[in-house]
A and B are shown apart, each in its own frame.
Chain A
């Protein structure tokens, strides 16, 4: 079963980090070598994938049309759902990337007393937005560990994120939302029979991994506190490419770090590449102007055609009989 397989993979990762630090004391390996290797793998892997996509030509100019096409000036057309210009495409892409617009259209198809019926279904959209935005906020907040002095913007985000002002240290919303959203997405994946049916280990694994990262982060911040001064020493030394791993940070930190490294390595080889792919998707990033401009297939092959002459040869007598003009008598 994909669920258990993925779950145990994540547990295994946790155990590797735990024993690597608590039993073997491999601070340099887990604190410096693996993070660098993971970061390099991520960057190169991401780049190679995007280059691979970029090198493949786009012979079809067929964006998905979701509204009235541009025709005559006095007929209103759908500038965002069927863009005919670059500005329309940019608008469409911004809405897709920042608002998950297509997902917002989601419907649920069901059977109601033998009638097929449709109902609005926005939960995936909502959870997806919560998941991705909290991930983004967490990511930006973490820059404080790598930058010295900490930029004012990051401090602002921090204080907004902790505006509830509960707990010591202040509870940060983003981490909690990330964990809950990841758990909801997991819940949806297992409870919706259709989604469960299509799910692969590669779908459960990133959810468990990200939930694990969020959970270990939350534990580290609020429960089993780590020596944050030393953590910052390590992270700043990583950012300055010096890399020295102080001892005595606390094992939970290395578990957190190791899971993140796994995510980085896993990223370019998995569906998580949708982050890069969404920008290159030809059905979304092309203007629908094939009736305005002629687009020619880049390799434009020579093909065998049935010429008019051959057609006339086949049907000349019949054409003459029907009074259709012919070129050769």
Chain B
């Protein structure tokens, strides 16, 4: 991670929106310190049964990939082209008009041309052309196609973890091409190779085992909320008594777990605790399903489903 936090002026002064002289296919990926996360630690992946759990670091030259990583990647890609109309369509119809180019906060903040949504998509589109279109197979580079090499894989990884899946690019695209969906699908493929980041695998594992991304265990949830209730009582003189895992309540209340843990989320939590009390709602908290966000979307659709299950189960 970054050594010391830079000042805003330092950051903006280093931005240059003009791309380099070498074409993007000829510019090798450079893992800049502070712009990528640690590789997922094996235990997190084992918790949810993801493949190729091992110690690894993105900056290493050897990523300890399975022997047949390329086949796995291409096969998974072909399968997903048939399963997601969005993915197939977005591979085919981009006219490279550039309307989305300067809309991504990763591009705005870094000036790195491969952070333009259109180029982020082209990184995988070039692979698509090479292996899934006739023109790409025959004409190669002139059809905008390129081989999937280890360097290309690393480049994909580096830039596909610099997308927050915010979908701003999709708002501006005349065809609604949504890089967020492409990112989800490509990361799903990465997960088949054990290529995740610790910051995502950790919350996923926590949500799975403990019910929320921070890994708060049931007694911690209640005691954290107790603290908030103490504060409320001190200020208002009213003691609120919420319930936990109570069967038969009319409403199951699920909130982002950050609200119970750090400021300013805790203020929000105190706010709605008071509001619910004032309204006299018949509600209960769940320690089992104690996360409002679904961190599974950052790994794979099936994982998202495995986590969503918890909310519906508890209700």
Contact = CB atoms under 8 A, between A and B. Distances in A.
Contact of B96 (A115, A271, A277, A280): A271
A128 B97 contact: yes
Contacts of A323: 222, 244
Interface in A77-119: 96, 100, 102-103, 105-111, 114-116
Interface string A56-95: 1111101110100000000000000000000000000000
Contacts of B99: 102-103, 106, 124
A305 B310 contact: yes
A124 B174 CA distance: 11
Contact of B219 (A62, A114, A308, A318): A318
Interface in B175-196: 175-178, 181
A222 interface: no
Contact of A324 (B83, B94, B96, B218): B218
Contact of A58 (B86, B134, B247): B86
Contacts of A280: 85, 89
A283 interface: yes
B88 A322 contact: no
A53 B85 contact: yes
A197 B24 contact: yes
A321 interface: yes
Interface in A294-318: 297, 299, 301, 303-308, 311-312, 314-315, 318
A307 B313 contact: yes
A301 B303 CA distance: 11
B86 A269 contact: no
A313 to B, nearest CB: 12
B201 interface: no
What interface size band does chain B fall in? 35 or more
Interface in B284-315: 287-288, 301-302, 305-306, 309-310, 313-314
A303 B306 contact: yes
Interface residues of A, number: 73
Given A108-B102, A277-B89, A66 B219 contact: no
Contact of B83 (A56, A103, A201): A56
A273 to B, nearest CB: 6
B91 to A, nearest CB: 10
Given A315-B218, A323-B222, A308 B17 contact: no
B207 to A, nearest CB: 9
A52 interface: yes
B153 interface: no
Contacts of A311: 209, 211, 288
Closest 7 CB pairs of A and B: A277-B93, A283-B176, A322-B219, A109-B102, A195-B98, A56-B85, A197-B19
Interface of B: 9, 12-13, 15, 17-19, 23-24, 49, 81-89, 92-99, 101-103, 108, 113, 116, 118-119, 122, 133-135, 142-144, 167, 170-178, 181, 208-209, 211, 217-219, 222-223, 244-247, 287-288, 301-302, 305-306, 309-310, 313-314
Interface of A: 5, 49, 52-60, 62-64, 66, 96, 100, 102-103, 105-111, 114-116, 124, 128, 192-195, 197-203, 269, 271, 273-274, 277-278, 280-284, 297, 299, 301, 303-308, 311-312, 314-315, 318-319, 321-325
Given A57-B83, A102-B172, A203-B96, 5 more contacts: A60-B86, A194-B102, A271-B94, A277-B93, A318-B218
